[in-house]
Structure 1
Amino acid sequence: MEFRVKLAIIYYSATGNIAQIAQEMAESAEKAGAEVRLRKVAELAPQSAIDANPAWAANAAATTGTPEATADDLIWADAVIMGSPTRFGNISSQLKQYLDTLGGLWHQGLLADKVYSGFTSTGTLHGGHESTLLALSHTFHHFGGIVVAPGYTHPDKFTDGNPYGTSHHDAGGTAPVDDTTRAAARIQAERVVKFARAISAAHLAA
């Protein structure tokens, strides 16, 4: 019987782009045979800031049913995909706060030997897509994780143009998540499941 991969998709999304990409990845991974936990990290911004931005407030309302990520989600998972909007070429403080709570698990070696991958969205065309994904991968390396990037392994990745992970350019909030981004998200999720299945099967056989 084929090994069923346990995949945690953990993200922070303000105005909803990252949430949409995460949902696309979750659906694609489930179709590829994975068991998926879709989780958002805790919000740190004050309610006044959220209410002042209609898109932010709408996304907060739309994702009230999405559970918040806990450390247990990482222990449970064979593979983890994390997503964050770009903040000055780096990940959001909300996702960073979640990562900073994982020191105990890291010290016990409980985050090692899992497959990790990342995705992002930015408001400007050259606003930190790659630097955000590379910054996120630094953490994965510290975990002792196995970083699986999509690379240029599918024709659609040449259209998307980012070998480090899925990234979306929302043109300052005027460009919704499109078919190019969704295709890239599907490719990345399927690739993560593929390699997590192979690695987990090898561990079981060892």
Structure 2
Amino acid sequence: MNTSVNLSIVYYSSTGTIAAIAREMAETAEKAGAEVRLRRVAELAPQAVIDANPAWAAHAAATADVPVVTADDLVWADAVLMGSPTRFGNISSQLKQFLDTLSGPWSKGLLADKVYSGFTSTGTAHGGHESTLLALSNTFIHFGGIIVPPAYTHPDKWADGNPYGTSHCDRGGTHPVDETTRAAARVQTERVVRFARGTKAVKAAA
């Protein structure tokens, strides 16, 4: 049975690394037959701070047409891929602020029994890849989510080297998202869609 899957890809990106991974995931999910909502979280930084960083300002302008996520995007979804750059080994304040608005649907059980998985980026090789993804998992657990990591289930994940999720080191903005990261993102997305499809079919048959 080819059960349809609703996938929300929710992300925060300041200069574009996480957004590039999110777009790769969206394209992969659509090819896998999923209905996809690509959503960014609202920006909290003052405009003066954004304007002082040309890459940040350029990315903000380039992605202004991407819809801002709402709670309904998670309620609608069978699966959620969530991405954030690392901020001192944790998720960004922008993404955290959105998560902190979800007590309503959470308290009604509307975020439970969905597949969740995370992705991230850092500026340095050991700058918090794993801790950021584990921090996301804390929230997924409180939601009652089914966490589906990519793990080392494919050669492209051995190359990427992160079993917790897709991650990229942009070396302070000098290393754009490369094919290694894109391949890892495809593996993760295909796995999430596959598990979401199976989970949805099991729930429908119960």
- The TM-score bracket by the shorter chain reads over 0.9
SS in 2 for 1:106: helix
Range with bigger deviation, 50-59 or 132-141:
50-59
Tell me how far apart the structure 2 counterparts of residues 37 and 121 of structure 1 sit (CA, whole Å): 21
- What displacement does 1:17 show? 0.2
Tell me how far apart the structure 2 counterparts of residues 51 and 195 of structure 1 sit (CA, whole Å): 41
State the TM-score, normalized to the length of structure 1: 0.99
- What displacement does 1:2 show? 1.5
- What displacement does 1:113 show? 0.1
**Which residue does 2:182 correspond to in 1?**
182
**Which residue does 1:10 correspond to in 2?**
10
**Which residue does 2:124 correspond to in 1?**
124
- What displacement does 1:140 show? 0.1
- What displacement does 1:169 show? 0.1
Tell me how far apart the structure 2 counterparts of residues 197 and 74 of structure 1 sit (CA, whole Å): 16
Whether 1:29 and 2:35 are equivalent positions in the alignment is: no
Deviations along 1:146-179, one digit per CA (max 9) or x if unpaired, are 0000000000111100000000000011100000
How many residues are paired up? 206
**Which residue does 2:200 correspond to in 1?**
200
Provide the aligned C-alpha RMSD in A.
0.6
Tell me how far apart the structure 2 counterparts of residues 57 and 181 of structure 1 sit (CA, whole Å): 24
**Which residue does 1:160 correspond to in 2?**
160
- What displacement does 1:58 show? 1.1
SS in 2 for 1:10: strand
State the TM-score, normalized to the length of structure 2: 0.99
Letter in structure 1 aligned against 2:78: D
SS in 2 for 1:137: helix
Tell me how far apart the structure 1 counterparts of residues 129 and 2 of structure 2 sit (CA, whole Å): 35
* Gapped regions of structure 1 (runs ≥ 5): none
Tell me how far apart the structure 1 counterparts of residues 185 and 60 of structure 2 sit (CA, whole Å): 22
Tell me how far apart the structure 2 counterparts of residues 148 and 58 of structure 1 sit (CA, whole Å): 33
Whether 1:48 and 2:43 are equivalent positions in the alignment is: no
- What displacement does 1:55 show? 0.8
Tell me how far apart the structure 2 counterparts of residues 64 and 149 of structure 1 sit (CA, whole Å): 30
Letter in structure 2 aligned against 1:94: Q
Tell me how far apart the structure 1 counterparts of residues 16 and 120 of structure 2 sit (CA, whole Å): 12
- What displacement does 1:121 show? 0.3
**Identical amino acids, percent of aligned pairs:** 77
Tell me how far apart the structure 2 counterparts of residues 58 and 191 of structure 1 sit (CA, whole Å): 33
- What displacement does 1:104 show? 1.1
* Gapped regions of structure 2 (runs ≥ 5): none
**Which residue does 1:66 correspond to in 2?**
66
Displacement over 6 Å in runs of 4+: none
**Which residue does 1:90 correspond to in 2?**
90
- What displacement does 1:66 show? 0.3
